[in-house]
Amino acid sequence: MSVESERERWEEQVFKPAVERFPERKPVFETSSGIPLPPVGVPDERFEYQERLGFPGEYPFTRGIQPSMYRGRLWTMRQYAGYASAEESNRRYRYLLQQGQTGLSVAFDLPTQIGYDADDAIATGEVGKVGVSISSLDDMQALFAEIPLDKVSTSMTINAPAAVLLAMYIGLARRRGIEESRLRGTIQNDILKEYIARGTYIYPPRPSMRLITDIFQYCQKNVPRWNTISISGYHIREAGSTAVQEVAFTLANAIAYVEAALQAGLKVDEFATQLSFFFSAHNNFLEEVAKFRAARYLWAEIVRQRFGSSDPRSMMLRFHTQTAGSTLTAQQPENNIVRVTLQALAAILGGTQSLHTNSMDEALWLPTEKSVRVALRTQQIIANESGVADIVDPLGGAYVIEELTGEIVRQAQEYIRKIDQMGGALQAIERGYVQNEIQDAAYRYQRAVELNDQVVVGVNAFSVEESPQLERLQVDPAIEFTQRERLAELRRRREAGKVAELLGRLDQAARQTDNLLPLLVECVEHDVTLGEICSTMRHVWGEYQPLAWA
């Protein structure tokens, strides 16, 4: 069949039915000169990568996981936010929703991320500083006050205690009379990248993987619209990796999660449709567009060839993107608006499902309302004024894009083969292989900046002497005292005997193999705190101690 005949087949049988599902988007797309826009470009039949391309919405999904992509529905505009108390963060969420944001993304403070309550001694000085402080179901209730959980998709950037925060979200839905099957959202829940690049781990790998597969199993049965993991290349890239390493190490981690779930008795097509990914959008525009396309192609091949999936939905790499925080500069912060715009455009041309755009002042302090509004408006202008959302995979078939896509595929496959030979991602992490590769890449980049081989505008070129004249967001230092008082009151009014019974049951359950999620939900519904739950599991499983590696 000729390429033109294939396009006609795809338009009639795949594209048009997909578009009909989204009547809110305009039916006809054309340029400002009135030139009709085809839904997708098709390369010449002689093009070298034709077999990899296919069509959007069809295996191997290089060109996008949905046939209509943004002609049907725009990506979710999900600005990452959270600071101080639950009440303060709730005000920011409602502000963003009023400004046109279409999904929530929660940032937690460091004590919450590593499983400590706000009144724990180790939390002193960190409560509410880099995210919102959440210790109990009451905090979760305040965080989502006046926000309809059954209508808004919520992403929570939480890893080691992800099961507990998910239990709180489910507990809050039950408290409001909302069926958990109606909840939509994502928990990051990606512990392997914590061992590699970020460091907010609690438990050793084996029990951590058990919690992850418990979440897979529970959500598959009870919360089917929830993304049970967001396998993250973002933090790998922020640690200094290259684009190829970001793809390769992220997919190697994904392979490890799938294998753990299979070993736990799940079947790939029972849980793989609820897996999602999280990537960075960095500065090299063309490479970033190709990176997202290469990642989709690789994941489709891995899930079908390696794991024998027969469900196309399992093979779809669905991902959220955040513009690269590590590229933001404190010098001339207004320049960050330009960087973020280009990075966001790369993510959109690469086919992201969800996007966070960084604020211009984030290299200096927590973003203000004005700066987050500018960041959100950046997405809205691209979506509604640029025209790039009017064609599916608009750069597909461009010689350089396809060449870069193919080369990223090839180099990432070579990394994955090396990791397989070591016994998989966990063994490669324990040997320090992944960490060393990232550190070497970070060193090379930093040397290039220091030698002026890599220009960073406003830092090592085109610099000026000035102090930033920007509004600054202030976090009330009394937040820590307030959170401690709130927890003290919670402990006074709750049923102490029931709490002790539940923590005893949790201790025993952690030593056995039954799914922990139902018990965690019961715990939080009876006002057992995050720190108490995590401390109990720490007592059983211990804490992870990184191995010394060269």
The residues, any chain, with a CB within 8 Å of residue 52's CB and separated by 6 or more, are 60, 62, 297, 402, 405, 406, 409
Per the CB < 8 A criterion, the answer to whether 321 and 347 are in contact is yes
* pLDDT reported for residue 470: 76
* pLDDT reported for residue 46: 41
* pLDDT reported for residue 47: 43
The residues, any chain, with a CB within 8 Å of residue 147's CB and separated by 6 or more, are 90, 93, 94, 97, 104
Rg (CA), the chain: 23
* pLDDT reported for residue 326: 97
Q: What is the CATH number of domain 69-450?
A: 3.20.20.240
The ranges of the chain with pLDDT < 50 are: 46-49, 550
* pLDDT reported for residue 60: 94
Sheet of 229-232: strand order equals 226-227, 185-187, 154-157, 103-107, 76-81, 354-356, 319-323, 275-281, 229-232
Q: What is the pLDDT of residues 290-327, one digit of tens each?
A: 999 999 999 999 999 999 999 999 999 999 999 999 99
| Ranges of each domain in the chain | 69-450
